[in-house]
A and B are shown apart, each in its own frame.
Chain A
Amino acid sequence: SYVLTQSPSVSVAPGKTATIPCGGDNIGTKTVHWYQQRPGQAPLLVIYYDSDRPSGIPERFSGSNSGNTATLTISRVEAGDEADYYCQVWENSNSRQVVFGGGTKLTVL
């Protein structure tokens, strides 16, 4: 089955840029979605179709996808961005299934 690999944690100072990678075999051929989950809350969609932002999501959030790595980038990081971030794809090779990455905990220093 398809596997998405995320680093367990990323730390960044306020005002700096956070880069959260999501690795997968030829992930660049798939469509990647990203979710933010703050402690005790439900997940929130922050990026869909690799790089599109839902309404209400700040322009500071952006995404890219190429080769074996998709990336969520958060510019001018704020304290409120501290959360777990998950990448997600639909896997269609054998049977349609959703795959989530293991999640990355973003800590704002």
Chain B
Amino acid sequence: EVQLLESGGGVGQPGGSLRLFCTASGYTFRNFAMSWVRQAPGKGLEWVSSVSGSGANTYYADSVKGRFTIARDNSKNTVSLQMNSLRAGDTAVYYCAKGRLGIVDSAFDYWGLGKLVTVSS
């Protein structure tokens, strides 16, 4: 059974940093792309970032480019999201999502339960 478990995050200050982790199980992790998708309170889904199965290719939304970094460790079945220069607008539930394929151009077929990140002074 595929499972995705987010950890980390929490409360951060404007201009500060936080890191999210997602630990995957139940499938061959390195064969599939991974992504982060967020949802601000009462709002819709917003894609944040994706990484290919090998980790060689990464992609970012314009709203986080230059501030967030996605990375994966295929030896540990984990993907992380380093979030720097935090803004109030980054406050959201962050979901880890598995791609159907190794390349990023695919649907997200499994999602974690989500982790709340709050940016506040």
Among A42, A86, A96, A99, which residue has its beta carbon within 8 angstroms of that of B105? Answer: A96
A100 to B97, CA, bound (A): 14
Q: Which of A14-22, A64-72, A73-81, A87-95 is near enough to bind chain B?
A: A87-95
A31 to B100, CA, bound (A): 13
Size category of the B interface is 20 to 34
Give the tally of cross-chain contacts (CB within 8 A).
63
Q: Which of B18-26, B43-51, B70-78, B80-88 is near enough to bind chain A?
A: B43-51
A39 to B112, CA, bound (A): 15
Q: What is the minimal beta-carbon distance from A82 to any residue of chain B, in angstroms? A: 17
Are the CB atoms of A45 and B113 closer together than 8 Å?
Answer: no
Are the CB atoms of A95 and B59 closer together than 8 Å?
Answer: yes
Please name 14 further chain A to chain B contacts, defined as beta carbons within 8 Å, in addition to the given A92-B105, A98-B35, sorted by A numbering. A33-B107, A33-B108, A35-B108, A37-B45, A42-B95, A42-B112, A43-B45, A48-B100, A48-B109, A90-B104, A98-B37, A98-B50, A102-B44, A103-B45
- Number of residues from A at the complex interface, CB < 8 A: 26
A88 to B114, CA, bound (A): 19
Given contacts A95-B59, A100-B46, contact A45 B112 (CB under 8 A): no
Interface residues of chain A, those whose CB is within 8 Å of chain B, are 1, 31, 33, 35, 37, 42-45, 48-49, 54, 84, 86, 88, 90, 92, 95-103
Q: What is the minimal beta-carbon distance from B57 to any residue of chain A, in angstroms? A: 8
B1 close to chain A: CB less than 8 A: no
